[in-house]
Amino acid sequence: MKKDNLLIITPVNHIDKFISEAKKFFRLKILKNPKQSELKKNIKDTKYIFTNPNMTQIYLGKKLLKNTDVKAICTASTGTIHIDEKYCKKQNIKVLSLKNDKNFLNQLTSTSDLAFGFLINAVRKIPQSTLSVSKGKWSYLDFKGRMIKNLQIGIIGYGRLGKIFTKYCLCFGSKVSVYDPFVKITNKKIEVIKNINKEIKKLDVLALHIHASKKNLNFINKKKLNLMKENIIIINTSRGEIIEENDLISFLRKNKKSIYFTDVLSREYDGLNKSKIFNYSKKNPNQVFITPHIGGMTIEGQSLAYHYSLKKLKIFSKKWLKQKKNF
């Protein structure tokens, strides 16, 4: 039986047995981080696209997909910000993501692990003290931290990742407050935040675990920032767009004891040099700490996500072939 073309536009060589498994069902063409022009040349004769937003700085929309024979786009992620879902729906192109695969996603703790790593690094000033030693200084006076069990930690979003992060904080004895008006929280160890603007004032740490939906865009803005403690630690492993970065920079500039740890930037695909928070961090390396969207980048997590996504694509392709034969 003739195999359909699968265009892979994200690195997969590091995923054990991924290529050999994919070859059983598809004829592969692999482009590592292609440019728009290169992708346009290779997309015309493909039925399926496999991608991942963390590595592929390509927006799959009308410009690329128009006049093609693409039947499905499969992304090994929960986020689909790199895909024009409205256009795909209009063109009957199936978008396969991990967004609603709750049972599978419960296996993945990678992003929550990173968020908790940020917490420990921020509270104990590990990056700052390491940098100081690398410059030949040996003094602890500037790096007095806090004990996690004494912190009031506020968590925005009590979905899968928020719940895991909450569990980690409770294990360390922290006082945990959670804001999520869409979820009923029954854990008696957690203080439920009903009025975020009122409760945000007492937080030592604010951890963000919400989707970048239209309602959540710029959720953290000037109004909320101005209510926060001058030495607050803000942790963002969600999306850059949920913080109004201009307001954040103004707050950080006024409150030099505050710290921002983030794994995401607003408009990541525009490039680092266009990022205002990145440019601020270059001048304030002891206040803003940025990682390159590594939340899901663990060996175990990526292997599970890529193979599970490939399995979903195989199932879809079989259904599509069956429908094709029936016509």
34 vs 126, more confident: 126
pLDDT at 321 over 90: no
In angstroms, the Cα distances linking 56 to 77, 83, 133, 192, 256 are 12, 11, 36, 38, 35
Q: Is the pLDDT of residue 278 over 80?
A: yes
With 60 as the cut, is the pLDDT of residue 326 above it? no
- Rounded Cα distance, 326 and 213, in Å: 39
Give the residue, 133 or 36, on which the prediction is more confident: 133
Mean pLDDT across the chain, nearest whole number?
A: 93
* pLDDT (mean) for 1-15: 90
Mean pLDDT (whole number) for 152-177: 96
Q: What local confidence, expressed as pLDDT, does residue 292 receive?
A: 92
- Is residue 120's pLDDT more than 90? yes
Read off φ and ψ for residue 201, nearest 5 degrees. -65, -30
pLDDT at position 55, please?
Answer: 62
Point out the least confidently predicted range of 98-102, 180-184, 187-191, 318-322: 318-322
Which of 206, 279, 201, 276 is CA-nearest to residue 236? 206
Instruction: Give residue 238's pLDDT.
Output: 94
Q: State the average pLDDT over residues 171-194.
A: 95
Average of pLDDT values for 33-51?
Answer: 89
Q: How confident is the model over 199-213, as a mean pLDDT?
A: 94
Spell out the domains of the chain, with CATH numbers in brackets: 4-101+299-326 (3.40.50.720), 110-290 (3.40.50.720)
Give residue 8's pLDDT.
96
Q: Tell me if 177 sits within 8 A of 152, measured CB to CB.
A: yes
User: What is the C-alpha separation between 95 and 87, in angstroms, rounded?
Assistant: 11
Spatial distance between the Cα atoms of 120 and 93, rounded to a whole number of angstroms? 43
Q: Which amino acid is at 88?
A: C
- Per-residue pLDDT, 78: 87
pLDDT-derived band of residue 45, with 50, 70 and 90 as boundaries?
Answer: confident
CB 247 within 8 A of CB 222: yes
Above 80 in pLDDT, residue 322?
A: no
Mean pLDDT over residues 279-308, rounded? 94
